[in-house]
């Protein structure tokens, strides 16, 4: 640890209740004052107004001033992070992911869901990719890598740190902790439910692959037989690969990124589907939906987040309603629509309301078949419902 004795944050009277309920966020308005020298990224002791120890957290800049890493009075010992990793590993082992020949990639650390707010870690067939999304976790990256190696002695070829949104620490220190923290590797090929995908963990979006959709892709495969499929915002083309694996007679994949289109083509080829009836189309998905005829009977909408901050919510609501209205209106009778939102500020209730409005405006008969969410390797702390960021709905349109 960087400090044997931690400085303290004292909460205002009455502001300890969320911490006692194990919510990991402490907002700046809840803090009365600090004791000792503190700066962003420090581990701090969190005390109630009457100086009772509530736990420990990472001090951050912004409205969320502290992100809790432990609750209660237990001290932070030398093996603190190792125990966090062991707990995370135990869950993934219980899920059947740590020694699985047909699936060699999974989310290993899911931030607050694994008690490590500000850190995402994805395992790609021997390569662990860290994304530190807070100053505290960026500072700790080398310590975390050392702790990880004691948990994964025979599973890893490399540990790579990929920058997320820039924090003041990363700017001041010129991304000091970016790159390989241990070992070395190039792009990797993973398996997911038996399908193969090339992962560009250095340059790809997020950590390189959207692992949170694994179960949803598998569900979509079961509905794809004999259908013409449109995969909007295709990125790596994973949904497209699954569609052919499920017996689709045609798949069109649309993305505005030329790199995404290349990735889609490569992954179709990797799985032997490059000769199947398909098109990988570089186009704006909204315009494509607007211009197309009623030619698809299974549509996937998995757009990037339309809102990352609360002040963008209104625009995001309009964007989600518009794109879903187009898809519902243009779908052939008897179609399935898999539609998703990964915007954290759009909760499941609001997303359901958006889809209802889109269906009304599209003037189609629509049935709701399933509510969808992220896979179980992306756990959500029951004390932190905000961690359920991926919302999805399966619709039947007639």
Q: 171 or 164: which carries more pLDDT confidence? A: 164
Q: What is the mean pLDDT of residues 21-45?
A: 96
Predicted confidence band at 51 (pLDDT cuts at 50, 70, 90)? very high
Report the chain's C-alpha Rg in angstroms. Answer: 22
pLDDT at 167: 53
Reply yes or no on whether the pLDDT at 225 is more than 70: yes
Reply yes or no on whether the pLDDT at 125 is more than 60: yes
Reply yes or no on whether the pLDDT at 71 is more than 90: yes
Q: Are 61 and 168 in contact (CB under 8 A)?
A: yes
pLDDT at 177: 75
Q: What is the mean pLDDT of residues 8-23?
A: 98
Reply yes or no on whether the pLDDT at 94 is more than 70: yes
Average pLDDT in the chain: 94
Of 248, 241, 246, which is closest to residue 189 (Cα–Cα)?
Answer: 241
* Residue 364 CB neighbour total at 10 angstroms: 18
pLDDT at 3: 45
Q: Are 45 and 38 in contact (CB under 8 A)?
A: no
Reply yes or no on whether the pLDDT at 166 is more than 90: no
Predicted confidence band at 168 (pLDDT cuts at 50, 70, 90)? low
Predicted confidence band at 176 (pLDDT cuts at 50, 70, 90)? low
Extract the tokens encoding 377. 């390797």
pLDDT at 295: 87
The owner of tokens 């995402």 is 120
- Structural domains in the chain, sorted by start: 8-71 (2.30.130.10), 80-190 (3.30.750.80), 210-397 (3.40.50.150)
**342 in catalytic set:** yes
Return d(Cα 243, Cα 245) in angstroms, integer: 5
Return d(Cα 286, Cα 261) in angstroms, integer: 16
Reply yes or no on whether the pLDDT at 188 is more than 60: yes
| Residues constituting the chain | 398
pLDDT at 171: 47
Q: What is the pLDDT of residues 333-382, one digit of tens each?
A: 999 999 999 998 899 999 999 999 999 999 999 999 999 999 999 999 99
């Amino acid at each position: 640890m960087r400090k044997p004795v931690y400085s303290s944050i004292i909460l205002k009277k009455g502001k300890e209740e969320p911490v006692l309920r194990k919510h990991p966020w402490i907002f700046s308005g809840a803090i009365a004052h600090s004791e000792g020298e503190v700066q962003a990224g420090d581990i701090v002791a969190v005390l109630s107004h009457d100086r009772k120890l509530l736990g420990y957290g990472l001090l951050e800049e912004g409205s969320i001033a502290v992100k809790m890493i432990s609750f209660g009075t237990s001290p932070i010992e030398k093996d603190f992070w190792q125990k966090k990793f062991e707990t995370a590993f135990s869950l993934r082992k219980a899920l059947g992911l740590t020694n699985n020949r047909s699936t060699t990639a999974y989310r290993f650390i899911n931030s607050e869901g694994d008690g490590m707010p500000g850190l995402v870690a994805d395992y790609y067939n021997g390569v662990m990719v860290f994304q530190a999304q807070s100053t505290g976790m960026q500072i700790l990256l080398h310590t975390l890598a050392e702790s990880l190696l004691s948990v994964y002695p025979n599973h890893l070829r490399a540990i790579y740190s990929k920058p997320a949104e820039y924090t003041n620490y990363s700017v001041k220190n010129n991304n000091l902790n970016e790159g390989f923290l241990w070992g070395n590797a190039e792009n990797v090929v993973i398996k997911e439910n038996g399908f193969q995908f090339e992962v560009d963990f250095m340059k790809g979006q997020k950590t390189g692959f959207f692992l949170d959709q694994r179960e949803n892709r598998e569900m979509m495969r079961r509905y794809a037989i004999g259908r013409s499929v449109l995969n909007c915002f295709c990125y790596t083309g994973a949904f497209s690969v699954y569609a052919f694996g499920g017996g689709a007679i045609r798949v069109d994949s649309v993305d505005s990124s030329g790199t995404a289109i290349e990735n889609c083509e490569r992954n179709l080829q990797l799985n032997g589907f490059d000769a199947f009836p398909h098109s990988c189309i570089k186009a704006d998905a909204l315009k494509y939906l607007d211009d197309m005829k009623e030619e698809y009977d299974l549509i996937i909408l998995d757009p990037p987040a339309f809102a990352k901050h609360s002040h963008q919510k209104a625009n995001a609501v309009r964007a989600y309603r518009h794109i879903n209205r187009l898809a519902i209106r243009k779908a052939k009778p008897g179609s399935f629509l898999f539609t998703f939102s990964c915007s954290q500020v759009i909760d499941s209730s609001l997303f359901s309301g958006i889809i209802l409005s889109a269906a009304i405006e599209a003037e189609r008969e629509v049935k709701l078949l399933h509510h969808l969410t992220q896979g179980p390797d992306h756990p959500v702390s029951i004390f932190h419902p905000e961690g359920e960021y991926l919302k999805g709905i399966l619709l039947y349109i007639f």
